[in-house]
Amino acid sequence: MGTKLSELQKEKIREIDDIASVSFNQEQKAIAKKIIENTPDSDLHEVFNFITQRVKLGFVFDEAPEVNHDAVSFVRENENLNINITNLENLAGNIEHKLIIGENYDALKNLLVTHYEKIDVIYIDPPYNTEAMKGDGNDYKDEISANKFIYRDKFTRNGWLNMMNERLKLARKLLKDSGVIFISIDDREQAYLKVLCDEIFGEENFVANFIVQHNPRGRSLSKILAQTHEYCISYCRDYKNLKPFLLNKTDKSIAEYNRQDEKGLYREMRLMNGNRNFTRQERPNLYFPLYVNPQNCLVSTQRNEKYTDEVFPINSFNVEQCWTWSKNKIERENDLIVARKKSNGKWGIYRKDYLNENSSLTKTKTILADKMFNNENGTETIRKIFNDSVFSTPKPVELIKYLVNFVLPQSISQSSRPIILDFFAGSGTTAQAVMELNAEDGGRRECILVTNNENNIAINVTRERLYRVINGEGINGESIKWQYSKDKKCLEGNSVRVFEIETHELSLKDLEKAQDLTNIAKGELQKLNPEYDINDELKIYSELASLNPQKDK
Ligand SMILES: C[S@@+](CC[C@H](N)C(=O)[O-])C[C@H]1O[C@@H](n2cnc3c(N)ncnc32)[C@H](O)[C@@H]1O
């Protein structure tokens, strides 16, 4: 080769590298790169699409939404909409969240500049592609011209998948390498979304397809069955960095841990191995007597004047079983062993099993059936906050708290400032969930919401909700029925910086205008992330160019 690669060729090669190895193996990637290196920029988009569509498994997704190269779209703070932002820089203890009002594709591109690989958790609840959602601004079905499609039979579904595909590809780049994404979805698109996510995040990074019992009575919409559940699909950026998802304190399985001492909650497990394959014959070295001190129920491997009562691992059918721990282990960890008198008057020997990260029982189950996850709780919360049902499909706050807490438990959230992003924010449930979690465990989680302003929802619902839960009253002083807890009226100590997305005509040939816009964009992007700081002139132009907005539909 030896020839210099163009910027576009480099970008396409990076995209090839980004494709999950299950969809595109190393050999295929090498061939693809060779083709790209030998293709002129003018043909590169088509050739790239051709190569990736040929090799990928599963469905074929359409091209990205077209971008408008003669304009840039960047976030701009609207101070009039801010909530409790003061000029006193970073009031001690205050946590600043962000609300971006506008098309999420454009918002995600802005976030790529400021938050590349900086997001800990993404939760989204996109439109489920039901007819009822038609007209919410995401219906590309009728607009995609025939020549953009290779397989026309996927036409209508492709509209939805296209929309998700483009956004999820950007979202993946925002995730930290320990980051996790959760996507609520129902039966209509679940299977298709799963395949799409396999392709974007890699099958190897699939975490779970949670079943959420959102309506225990069932929706009457189905003629044959009562639909009681939907899903929450979850992927991580890199499976090897994922920590176990532990149960929350509210989970029922934790009820088994019904004893407590200075080391925490524990349950008692029988020390005798109840498995029939583990008898004295099979494990002779695990068959030995233990001695109980009847005064304090402590246990020793040696008999003496205090430890008098001899116990063997013999079950109720008089079968000689064995212990689960060796003599050595029992001596080493003797403080975990206790004896209890059973109803038949004989001694049972138990070991304490503390609730901790290694315990299998503390891992969460993939069916989320608790009533706190019912959708009607979301509706009820909205009703209390607004004294009215102003939004029809809010998620229950508890569901999002539960999910976020898997990835960002108290231990992580007190010591760092993790970021949670929701780019289909709707009524803003995710921000309320984040603020509530912080109030409960002293965490410092920050939330970024993105929502469009269909029917003025962003102003009348999203922002107003955040204002109300933070201040305990409406923007015009309206009193509300919602209260955070018995002794805490609202979620004070939080503020929200509100941005809108602004679009400017621009040709990068008009250097003077580009320079002016760059300066404005840079200042605004810095408000989105105060750590964002780019001084390299060339980089600024390329960052600005990356903010080309999606073409008007
Ligand atoms: C199902 S709702 C989310 C509800 C949310 N989980 C809650 O609890 O309130 C989806 C929201 O995403 C918004 N939305 C849809 N497409 C969007 C887009 N392309 N950009 C920004 N927001 C979008 C819609 O306005 C809608 O409010």
> Of the ranges 108-117, 152-161, 172-181, 198-207, which one carries the lowest mean pLDDT score?
152-161
Which residue lies with its CA nearest to atom 3 of ligand 1? 426
Global pTM reads 0.74
Which residue lies with its CA nearest to atom 14 of ligand 1? 424
Whether residue 204 has pLDDT greater than 90: yes
Atom of ligand 1 nearest to the CA of 451: 22
Pocket residues: Cβ below 6 A from ligand 1:
103-104, 125, 127, 136-138, 378, 391, 393-395, 424, 426-427, 429, 450-452, 454, 457
CA 480/CA 387 separation, integer angstroms = 7
- pLDDT tens for 458-513 read 999 999 999 999 999 999 999 999 999 999 999 999 999 999 999 998 876 788 88
Average of per-residue pLDDT across 130-148: 41
The residues that bridge with 259 in the sheet, in sequence order, are: 266
Which residue lies with its CA nearest to atom 16 of ligand 1? 138
CA 255/CA 362 separation, integer angstroms = 11
Ligand 1 centroid from CA 125, angstroms = 7
Atom of ligand 1 nearest to the CA of 426: 27
Average of per-residue pLDDT across 309-331: 94
pLDDT greater at residue 252 or residue 181: 181
Ligand 1 centroid from CA 397, angstroms = 16
Which residue lies with its CA nearest to atom 8 of ligand 1? 394
Q: Cα dist. 543→93, 314, 534, 546 in Å?
A: 33, 73, 9, 5
- pLDDT for res 332: 96
Instruction: Express as a percent the part of the chain with pLDDT over 90.
Output: 59
- pLDDT tens for 265-282 read 788 999 999 888 889 999
Whether residue 306 has pLDDT greater than 60: yes
Whether residue 153 has pLDDT greater than 50: no
DSSP state of 473: B
- Residue 514: pLDDT band (50, 70, 90) is confident
CA 347/CA 357 separation, integer angstroms = 30
Instruction: Express as a percent the part of the chain with pLDDT over 70.
Output: 86
CA 98/CA 445 separation, integer angstroms = 12
Average of per-residue pLDDT across 6-25: 83
DSSP 93-137: T-EEEEEEES-HHHHHHHHHHHHTT-EEEEEE------GGGTTSS
- pLDDT for res 138: 39
Ligand 1 centroid from CA 455, angstroms = 12
- Residue 31: pLDDT band (50, 70, 90) is confident
- pLDDT for res 251: 66
> Of the ranges 410-419, 450-459, 536-545, which one carries the lowest mean pLDDT score?
536-545
Ligand 1 centroid from CA 66, angstroms = 21
- Residue 544: pLDDT band (50, 70, 90) is confident
CA 216/CA 227 separation, integer angstroms = 8
Whether residue 207 has pLDDT greater than 50: yes
Which residue lies with its CA nearest to atom 27 of ligand 1? 426
Per the prediction, the chain carries an average pLDDT of 86
- pLDDT for res 355: 76
From 105, 230, 451, 453, give the residue whose CB has the most ligand 1 atoms within 8 Å, as the site to mutate. 451
- Residue 90: pLDDT band (50, 70, 90) is low
- Residue 35: pLDDT band (50, 70, 90) is very high
- pLDDT for res 245: 85
Atom of ligand 1 nearest to the CA of 391: 9
Place of tokens 């591109």: 109
71 in Cβ contact with 109 (< 8 Å)? no
H or E element in which residue 430 lies: helix 429-441
Ligand 1 centroid from CA 25, angstroms = 36
| β-sheet with 494-505: strand ranges across | 71-77, 494-505, 95-101, 446-451, 419-422, 119-124, 175-185, 229-236, 206-213, 367-368
Whether residue 142 has pLDDT greater than 50: no
pLDDT greater at residue 539 or residue 519: 519
Whether residue 2 has pLDDT greater than 70: no
